[in-house]
Structure formats: C-alpha cells, structure tokens
Amino acid sequence: MMRQYELVERVTSYDPDANEAMLNKAYVYAMKAHGHQVRASGDPYFTHPLEVAAILTEMKLDDATIAAALLHDVVEDTEATLAEIEQLFGGEISELVEGLTKIKRLDLISKEAAQAENLRKLLLAMSRDARVLLVKLADRLHNMRTLHHVKPEKRARIAKETMDIYAPLAGRMGMHSMREELDDIAFKALYPEARDGIMKRLEALRAESGDILTNIEERLTEQLAANGIGAHVSGREKKAYSIWRKMQRKHLSLGQLSDIFGFRIIVASEADCYKALGVAHTAWRVVPGRFKDYISNPKQNDYRSIHTTVIGPHRKRVELQIRTQAMDDIAERGVAAHSFYKDAADPMAAERGIRLPHGDSNSFRWLRSLVETLAEGDNPGEFLESTRLELFADQVFCFTPKGALIALPKGANAIDFAYAVHTDIGNSCVGCRINGRHAPLMTELANGDEVEVIRSQAQTPPAAWEKVVHTGKARSAIRRATRFAVRAQYAGLGREIIERHLARFDATYNKKQFGEAMRKLGVSSAEDGLAAVGRGELAAHDVMNALGFEGEREAPKRDIRKSRTVKQEGGVPSIPVRGVNQNLPLNIDASTGAVPGERIVGILKPGEGITVYPIFSAALQKFDDEPDLWIDLAWDEDSATSLYPARLRVVVHNEVGALGQLTQTVADGGANIENLQMTERARDFYNIDLTVEVEDVRHLNQIMNELARKPLISTVVRATGSD
Ligand code: MN
C-alpha cells in the first residue's frame, strides 16, 4: 500500500503549491473511516481510494481532486457525512465528494427508464465539475483492474457497463490511455477466448520478428536525425481489444493479422511534424490511403496528430503517428491534460456553478452543452436518446419505416442500412428515402434518420459499392454478388467490343452464329466467348475471322488519340464507365488517375480487363501500334456519386508550414489525400507527388486553383504519367 508521504510527494512533484496538510488530513480521515472494511480481494478497503488517488496523480491532477479521490467512498460506505467533510475540508472538496456520492449507486445497466434517469444524474453530476468525471473514471479503472476478484455474474455486468458507458465516455473526453485500458480489461472479462486467440497470435508474431520494435525505433530516429529533426520515437504493440475491433471491422482472420506495431514520433514543433512526415515519405514507400492530417483538421475531442503508414525498415508495414508533446498530452489524457480554473472565469459557467478546464477544450464544451440540455428538458427517454447517441460517437442509430432500430458504425450510408436489415434488401436496393425525402444512397446517415429502402428485383449491387460501404456485412455480401456479376460484366463488355467490330462491316450480333464461331475456336459457349473477349483473353480480330469477316477495316479507335478535344466519334458507341473497382474489368491507371469530366480511353489488357487512361496520358504512346486494344469510354452519370483519383505534381517552397498549407487546402476543398510523397528535395523547393480523390474535373480544378494561390506553393500541375 502506498504510504502517506509517497502520495503527498507525488502531488508536490508536479504541483509545488499543493496543500500538503489537507492531503495528509484526507489520507488519515479516509483510512480511519474505512477502518477494517475489506474488498473482495481481501485487501483493506482503503487500498481502493488510495489507488484511485494514485491513478489521478499520474494524470497530474490538483490537490482537491486527489483529496476527493481519497474520500470518494466514505459518505456512502462509512459513518462519515457530507456536513463533516465540508467542515473539515471546505466547500470545494465536499462538492466533489457529493457529486461522487450521488452517482455511486447508479446502476447504468437497468430497465430503460431508470437507465435514462441514472445516466442523466451521472452526467449532471459530472458536468458540473469535470473533476468528478475524472475521479469516477479512475474509480472505474481501479475496479476494473481488480475485477478478477469479483464473482463471475457480477463481473460480466460491470465489464459490459464499462464497455458500453465508461470507455466511450473516456474516449469522448479524449482520454485514450484510459479508454484503451478500460476496453481491454472489459474485453478480457467478456470475450476471454477471442482475447486468448489474439494474445497467442501476438506471441507468435513477436517470436517471429524478434527485436524489431527497438530496431525500427532506432532506424526511424537515425533517419530523422540525419535530416536535422530531433525526435523521440517510441514503438508499441497494439492492445488486444483494438486489434479485435479492427478484425471485426475489416473482417480479418487471425492469420491475416500483421500490422500490430504502432510508432509515435514526438517532435518539438508543429512545423517539425510536417518535416518528419516529409522525411518518412521520402525514405520509405507510402501505403496509399492511410494518410490523415488531424493537425490541420483536429478531431472533435481536440485530438491532433498526423497519421501515415509506410513500408518501413525490414519491409514491415509501420503505422506512424507524428505529433508534438502538447498534442500527445491531449491525445493521452484528454480533458485531464488541461489545467482547471480555480475560479470559473466564464461568467455563464460561473452562474451555473460549472467548473471549466483551462483553455479551449472541445470535449468540455460537449459536456457543457449536455448540461444545458439537462436544464431544459425533463423527459428522461428523450434525454437518454440524445445523450447516448452523442456518447457513442462512433455509432449512428437509424430506424426502418416501421420503427425498428438499426445501429450502424458512424459514417455508414443507406447501403449499409439496407444490408443491415437483410442481405436481399441490400442486393436489390436501388434508391432510398431518408426522412421521407429522396436521397443518394451514399448519403452518410445521421442519428435518428428514418430510412426507407427502394428496391428493384432487376438490380445487382455495383462492385464499386464495396468501396463506399462501412460495414463488414455489406462488404462481404457485395463481394459475393459481385463475383457472379463480374463474369456477366465481362461478357457484356465482350459483346460491346464485338458489336463495335461488326458495325464496321454493317453487321449485327447474332448469338447462333457467334456460338458456332466460338466452337471453331474451341470455346464451349457464346457466353464464355464473350467473357473471354471482355477479359482480353480472346482477340477481337480472331473472333471476327472466325465469324467470316476477313480483312481490316478502318478502326475508329485510332481517331481517339488524334482528336483530343472531340467529344464522341459519330456512330461508334462508347462504353459507359460505371463503378471502377479491382473486381471489375475497369481500373484507373495509377500514374495519372482519371476523374469524371476528363476525356478518357480504355486499353484492354489480357487477363486484367480495361485500364482507364485520361487522353493526355503519356503511357498511351505504348499502345499506338495496337489499335485493337483501344476502347472508347465515357463517364457514366452515376460516376458522380464516388470519388476518383487524380495525381498532381506540386512544387512547394522549402519553408516551414508548406506541407501544412497543402494538406489544409485539400481538406478545405472537400477532397481526400490518397497519397502524398516527397520526390525531390532541393534547397529552395521540393517536389511533391500528390494523389487527391475528387468528385469530378470541376472539383479538381477548384482544388488546383486554390493550391496555386497559396504563397508557399509554387506550381501545381496534373501528372501526365511521363515521369
Ligand atoms: Mn470507489
């Protein structure tokens, strides 16, 4: 058990002005009050409030909070009274203890109405003074750490409550270490087998990779130092629970589990964050689509950091979080990282007796807006709805027209909704009404939305949906449906190609003749033949010969290249580009990207389907002598509902803040950064290879114009694929 002087020393080590006499008094008072009480573990009861206080010293909380932690159970569990505590310790501490006492007996997992009322009380008590919340969370953390002493039935209930209420609450307040530990212990109690499986796999991976953690740490540090950046690099293994969540989300099996290490790079300044990013992206290959700039665009709970993934030393996929010490403090400790006003300086808060943390905290603003809701409404059901919905920030709750509740992860759209109701509904869904109004299927759903799915039996889900859905259920159903549809699509594509060749001879497609021609070529059916043409495995001119059309006719495809500005060739139908996905015969060439509104052509590649190129792509020259491979394509109107990649070459001044300006501008323009890589670095300028995801060419031009206007950005051009 921690000694009295140790606790006091801990507090004075970060707060030299702490009231030592008061802390000593609280220690002795609580120890005496709990007397010979024991915990389920057999330890003296006082070890519990003492450990809670110790957890809070790790968060460097003020003396009043530490005293309140020592005293948090005395009113409920001993002879002590609030009046006595007020007399001995003053109003500030007694109010904290009162808040903690009020919420002590709340049973959050109970009947709906009582649950609503309890949650209301809990949040009310916590939101008057954020320190009540911090003590309550530390209390829960210690109870979780000692959960194995509790009887199994009770254990599961506490673990579930922790996972449902306290862990999300800690997360919402930005306290990630706390959330992680709460979740992990609850996970162990609720799903011991799943956790064991993950731990075993981790052990195996650890044995396989040896001392790789330290090794990568060193390589990262060296690389940064070589570029003049002082950084503290630390690697760590991810927690079982977060791995499990990822497996659930991405439908991964244990065997597929590979990137289990995360590295944190702490640098001195915001500018250094971007410099470090530049170094990492120059030294190692970037994993596309994993770059996130939460420095320019902080999360709702104030979280700021840069995230990226590279193929790092030892060819290991390495997740990097780049941030400053201050950003790291906020990320780990959330609201607890803010110091607290001794006197509420916000007049409105003072009036309501609310204690605000110092500085600008989004999390606390959220808590305060809850208090205002509490003051206004007194319908507990309504309150529960709005609060739980807010609390579970990573979920949205929507309804069917009949009122059934469908819970989905945040970001989910109507397609996810349809699949969550039933696979058949997802597969046949063609449109939706959200709250009675027609809306695009990709619309991100909000809490409380009523979603009506419009169906058509003729529908097969487009493969591109796989990219836009957020739930594993929808993704796997789409993949299944797509496999069947892909063959049909290749066949359809093959037929388009054959029909266009036939059109040159003023002939039309005839299934019987085509089937016979296929037999001559040793292909068993017309359908297989068309699919083979579509996949590029069977050359169109061989088919034409087998059909009896000899000789060459002028191929209109050749004109595609010559007439760069022409809209469409007369008489030759172009193939509409629908979804673009790796399961489909269509792929967009990565060296340039292509976006709706840009003139495009397709090149048939045997076994790969069609690769889409913008007409200005330098790569097209390679195919000049192979007219049969050219396919005229046009964007389908549906294209507007997805995002498409466009690769840019950007030259920026080698100055502090340039990368930040770049990423901020792209984010402000409503586009995503799919990839960002420094290619060359000179003294004054450096080149950046940037792939953005945009809606169409107009959107792209807007972004390019905005970028070009920035003082630290020198030039922005579309990549042509020639370099
Ligand atoms: Mn307690």
Q: Catalytic: 272?
A: no
Residue 46 pLDDT: 95
Question: What's the gap in Å between 54 CA and the centre of ligand 1?
Answer: 13
pLDDT band at 202 (very low <50, low <70, confident <90, very high): confident
Question: What's the gap in Å between 73 CA and the centre of ligand 1?
Answer: 5
Question: Is 70 exceeded by the pLDDT of residue 343?
Answer: no
- The mean pLDDT value for 431-458 works out to 86
Residue 562 pLDDT: 45
d(CA 150, CA 143): 9
Question: Is 90 exceeded by the pLDDT of residue 206?
Answer: no
Residue 337 pLDDT: 67
- The answer to whether 261 and 238 are in contact (CB under 8 A) is yes
Q: Which helix (H) or strand (E) holds 132?
A: helix 130-145
Question: What's the gap in Å between 46 CA and the centre of ligand 1?
Answer: 10
Question: Is 90 exceeded by the pLDDT of residue 185?
Answer: yes
Question: Is 80 exceeded by the pLDDT of residue 487?
Answer: no
Residue 93 pLDDT: 92
pLDDT in tens, 357-385: 544 455 555 555 555 544 444 444 444 44
pLDDT band at 389 (very low <50, low <70, confident <90, very high): very low
pLDDT in tens, 563-594: 333 333 333 445 556 544 434 467 889 899 99
Q: Look over the chain and give the mean of its residue pLDDT values, rounded to a whole number.
A: 80
Question: What's the gap in Å between 479 CA and the centre of ligand 1?
Answer: 49
pLDDT in tens, 512-545: 999 999 998 888 888 889 888 887 788 888 899 9
State phi, psi for 585 to the nearest 5 degrees. Answer: -70, -5
Question: What's the gap in Å between 56 CA and the centre of ligand 1?
Answer: 13
Residue 87 pLDDT: 94
Query: Which one is predicted more confidently, 51 or 470?
Result: 51
What is 309-346 written as a DSSP string?
A: EEE-GGG-EEEEEEEEHHHHHHHHHGGGGSPBPSS--S
Query: Which one is predicted more confidently, 560 or 397?
Result: 397
Question: What's the gap in Å between 103 CA and the centre of ligand 1?
Answer: 11
Computed over its alpha carbons, how large is the radius of gyration of the chain? 31
Residue 641 pLDDT: 61
- Least trusted range by pLDDT, from 238-247, 322-331, 698-707: 238-247
Catalytic residue among 76, 499, 624, 723: 76
CB neighbour burial string for 25-39, b if at least 16 within 10 angstroms, e if fewer: ebbebbbebbeeeeb
Q: Catalytic: 43?
A: no
- The mean pLDDT value for 180-207 works out to 89
pLDDT in tens, 225-276: 998 999 999 988 888 888 888 787 777 777 776 667 889 999 999 989 998 9
Tokens describing residue 645: 């990649």
- Percent of the chain scoring above 70 in pLDDT: 80
- Least trusted range by pLDDT, from 28-32, 128-132, 389-393, 717-721: 389-393
Question: What's the gap in Å between 48 CA and the centre of ligand 1?
Answer: 7
Query: Which one is predicted more confidently, 294 or 112?
Result: 294
Question: Is 70 exceeded by the pLDDT of residue 510?
Answer: yes
d(CA 121, CA 515): 75
Residue 565 pLDDT: 33
Question: What's the gap in Å between 459 CA and the centre of ligand 1?
Answer: 57
Question: What's the gap in Å between 69 CA and the centre of ligand 1?
Answer: 8
- Percent of the chain scoring above 90 in pLDDT: 29
Catalytic residue among 77, 164, 528, 696: 77
Q: Is 300 helix (H, G, I), strand (E, B) or coil?
A: coil
Alpha-carbon distance values, 489 to 485, 494, 536, 558, 575 (Å): 6, 8, 13, 25, 12
SS3 content of the chain, % helix, strand, coil (to 5): 50, 15, 30
Question: What's the gap in Å between 139 CA and the centre of ligand 1?
Answer: 5
Question: What's the gap in Å between 45 CA and the centre of ligand 1?
Answer: 9
Residue 121 pLDDT: 62
Question: Is 90 exceeded by the pLDDT of residue 477?
Answer: no
Residue 452 pLDDT: 93
Tokens describing residue 622: 């390679």
Residue 560 pLDDT: 47
Question: What's the gap in Å between 301 CA and the centre of ligand 1?
Answer: 27
Question: What's the gap in Å between 64 CA and the centre of ligand 1?
Answer: 17
Dihedral sign (CA 694, 699, 704, 709): negative
Residue 558 pLDDT: 44
Residue 557 pLDDT: 46
Residue 6 pLDDT: 92
